[in-house]
Structure 1
Amino acid sequence: MSAPERAARTAERTELPSAADDQHRPAGRPRSSSPSPIAHRIGSVEVLTALLLLLLVMSEQLTDLLSTPALATWTTVFVSVMVQAVPFLVFGVLLSAVIAVFVPRSFWARALPRHPALAVPVASAAGVVLPGCECGAVPIAGSLIRRGVTPAAALAFLLAAPAINPIVLAATAVAFPNNPEIVAGRAAASLIVAMVMGWLWLRLGRTDWIRLPHRPDLDGLPRGQAFWSAVRHDVVHAGGFLVVGAAAAASINVLVPERWLQTLADQPVLSVLALAALAVLLSICSEADAFVAASLSQFSLTARLAFLVVGPMVDLKLISMQAGIFGRRFAVRFAPATFAVAVGVAAATGSVLL
């Protein structure tokens, strides 16, 4: 045998097993291969474990730190905002997933008028039948836009639902037992603001300002799997921004001196602006804000009405969630415009009814 033939035989013996060899290999016996290093990625479980260990090691230091009055107040406000908001956020996310998976697109074409200008007041009035707060309305509005509802109508619903639903109006009546006119004023002013903002969007809004986060395609999945996929997606995008907004609201509560409020209460015009700004900073859930407004007895009823109208439409946690669901370009335009319209309508309504 020549040298080239011997080299060819040696090469054949050292080749990797062929497909034919795989057929004769006993089941369960893996093909031999050289070991390769496995890259290890740090995930959420590792991060959570590290945080828990850190809290355990530094428990004494954290106890001393939390005993300071300022940090104790911050923690109380943060936890209260989260406790108030999370149940309604979950409700809104679940309803949003139901709309995305189980409600056909043709339903909205039948339920709302075809003309966008007429769809706005119908969507605003639909907020009466949905008990919930602003945290739940944000993902629902995003899901409505995904299902083909005109953004103007979805945004009108977003603003109206947290302020004019029966639970909120009943809570307002309980908080102001001697002033039933403030309940009517809150419902009327909130409905007007929602419709005005919807019509303003039709006139001035641009579709490229809304950038909904990419949601996995749900059409090809089984309904149960698609439902939970939509829930996980919305919880990640809305819940994270809720935490940011709650932390900002808690920080403002600690940093703003109470004596400033007493000084502003003596100025009729400034008192309206002050309570409207306070509603943005405190970020109280719409089911509870009436009791806070009732406690601000040093302010006029008109100023407290502005607090009740602005709060469910514009606050720190809501702005954060809108940025997470609709995009930052939308939030930086929509929130200031809503604040200006809400303050103006609340002041006008208060001058007529209160």
Structure 2
Amino acid sequence: MTQRATDDWLSEDDRLPPDSWGRRKSAGPRLPWAIILLITALVAGRFLLTPHLTAPALRTWATIFVAVCLQALPFLVFGVVLSAAITAFVPPSFWTKALPRQPYAAVPIAGAAGAVLPGCECASVPVASGLMSRGVAPAAALAFLLASPAINPVVLVATAVAFPGNPAMVVARFVASLTVAVLAGWAWARFGRPEWLRVRTHTAAPGQSKWGSFVEAMRHDLLHAGGFLVVGGLTAATLNVMVPRSWLTSVGELPVLSVLVLGLLAVLLSICSEADAFVAASMTAFSPTAKLAFLVVGPMVDLKLIALQAGTFGRAFAWRFVPLTFTLAIAVSFAAGWVLL
């Protein structure tokens, strides 16, 4: 039998190398030593570093960081669980039946659906891609992509807790975010071109149950969102302690500059929408409108979303949709802050 005939006869699995190839041997005996070294380092640090960690500024920094993370963590976990449940258990056919086929009519309905169906930023991109692959108009899927992580019940409740006694901030966030989602969807329906958008067909892993998909989605989103929450808490605490209050006050007194600064900061921090309200509330030197811009921009435009959108829909899409969304978010935040705050 020739080599070519042999290759044709072999299945795809037969051509794969054994599972043991390229893998390191288990480092079992070294694991206890690593744990012992870690415990030793922690104990030594407790006695050697404690005298140097009692400065008032450092204690303030630690207090702000812990407060931001502890307040946001329950909402983050709840939002991730709900998002994973929707991803795993809601059939995609539900969306094609619930939304009108006419894009301009489907966009506001898809945007409003984000108010009742929680989803984090990490999950919104693959969900939107799945909707497009099943026949939903791209403009409607994009409106849902922007609205779901911004105006769902978990995010609104978290905003109310972060801004106690200030229901206007919750209303302003809902109105501004939904407005941006609808306007962006309509803009894509009017000016978007099919060649700018790459739509892929998503298939579930072979043999994976719905519960397996649920657990996998929850674990993935929790690890990613939790890491970004820690980064956001660290940054918020550092801004409050390290940056001179006079600098923040001078920026906060400039309406246009303060809104742009917090909008760009939301892009860089990439905080999960279930937790960003607590970070925004800790930035006391900025105006309510600037904080609103932080809350509107973050769930719609940040670094991880840009990467996800470029990888899922293509760079041609990201280069056009990201600037459009950011510009609309800043403009609508100005208008909503002026009217509602």
What TM-score, normalized by structure 1, do the two folds share?
0.67
Residue number in structure 1 paired with 2:279: 292
Query: What are the equivalent positions in structure 2 for 1:171-250 lying under 5 Å apart?
Result: 171-211=158-198, 215-216=202-203, 225=208, 227=210
For 2:326, give the aligned amino acid. Answer: F
Deviation of residue 157 (structure 1)? Answer: 0.8
If the length of structure 2 is used for normalisation, what is the TM-score?
0.69
Letter of the aligned partner of 1:347 in structure 2? F
Q: Distance in 2 between matches of 1:61 and 1:169?
A: 44
Assess, with a 3 A threshold, how the Cα gap between structure 1 residues 232 and 205 changes in structure 2: closer, same or farther: farther
For structure 2, the 5+ residue unaligned runs are: 1-16
Alpha-carbon distance between aligned partners in 2 of 1:87 and 1:51, rounded to the nearest angstrom? 37
Report the CA distance between 1:196 and its aligned residue.
0.7
Contact 1:261–1:274 (Cα < 8 Å) also in 2: no
2:113 is equivalent to residue 96 of structure 1: no
SS for the counterpart of 2:208 is: helix
Cα displacement string for residues 23-49 of structure 1 (whole angstroms, at most 9, x for unaligned residues): xxxxxxxxxxxxxx9795225x86998
Cα offsets for 1:98-152 (capped at 9, x unmatched): 34xx443xx4343111111110000001111113433333332222222221121
Which secondary structure state, in structure 2, belongs to the residue aligned with residue 148 of structure 1? coil
Shift of 1:261: 3.5
> Which residue of the other structure, out of 317, 332, 353, is the alignment partner of 2:304?
317
Q: Does 1:338 align with 2:325?
A: yes
Instruction: Tell whether the 8 Å contact from 1:157 to 1:194 is kept in structure 2 after alignment.
Output: yes
Instruction: Find the aligned partners of 1:161 and 1:130 in 2 and give their Cα distance.
Output: 7
Query: 1:283 aligned to 2:270?
Result: yes
Task: Return the alpha-carbon distance in structure 2 between the equivalents of residues 237 and 332 of structure 1.
Answer: 27
Q: What residue in structure 1 maps to residue 21 of structure 2?
A: 41
Range with bigger deviation, 319-328 or 278-287: 319-328
> CA 1:226–1:175 in structure 2 vs 1: closer, same or farther (change >3 Å)?
closer
What is the match of residue 243 of structure 2? 258
What displacement does 1:97 show? 3.7
Distance 2:264 2:204 in 1: 40
Per-residue deviation at 1:312? Answer: 1.6
Other-structure match for 1:349 = 336
Which residue number corresponds to residue 123 of structure 1? Answer: 110
1:301 aligns with 2:281: no
Q: Conserved in 1, the CA contact under 8 Å of 2:197 and 2:316?
A: yes
Aligned counterparts of 2:161 and 2:220: Cα–Cα separation in 1:
34
How many residues align? The count is 307
Amino acid paired to 1:297: T
Amino acid at match of 2:22: I
Structure number with greater Rg is: 1
SS in 2 for 1:348: helix
CA contact (8 A) 2:111 2:140 kept: yes
Amino acid at match of 1:41: W
Pairs within 5 Å for 1:102-181: 102-104=91-93, 107-181=94-168
In structure 2, C-alpha distance between the alignment counterparts of 1:332 and 1:134, rounded to whole Å: 18
1:25: which partner in 2?
A: none
Deviations 1:160-210 (A, max 9, x none): 122222222233233333332222211111111000111111123233444
1: CA distance, partners of 2:300 / 2:329: 8
The separation in 2 between residues aligned to 1:212 and 1:241, in whole angstroms, is 24
Task: Provide closer, same or farther for how the CA distance between residues 225 and 217 of structure 1 changes in structure 2, counting only shifts above 3 A.
Answer: closer
Alpha-carbon distance, 1:346 to partner: 0.5
Task: Tell me how far apart the structure 2 counterparts of residues 331 and 158 of structure 1 sit (CA, whole Å).
Answer: 13
User: In structure 1, what is the Cα distance between the partners aligned to 2:78 and 2:103?
Assistant: 32
- The structural deviation recorded for 1:345 is 0.4
Fraction of identical pairs, as percent: 47
In 2: Cα distance, 1:162 partner to 1:119 partner:
18
Alpha-carbon distance in structure 1 between the residues aligned to 2:29 and 2:234: 26
Residues 186 and 308 in structure 1, CA contact (< 8 A), matched pair in contact too: yes
Pairwise CA RMSD of aligned residues?
Answer: 4.3
Q: Which amino acid in 2 is paired with 1:176?
A: F
The residue identity in structure 1 corresponding to 2:262 is L
89 and 51 in structure 1: CA distance in 2 versus 1, 3 angstrom threshold? farther
Structure 2 Cα separation of the partners of residues 304 and 296 of structure 1 = 8
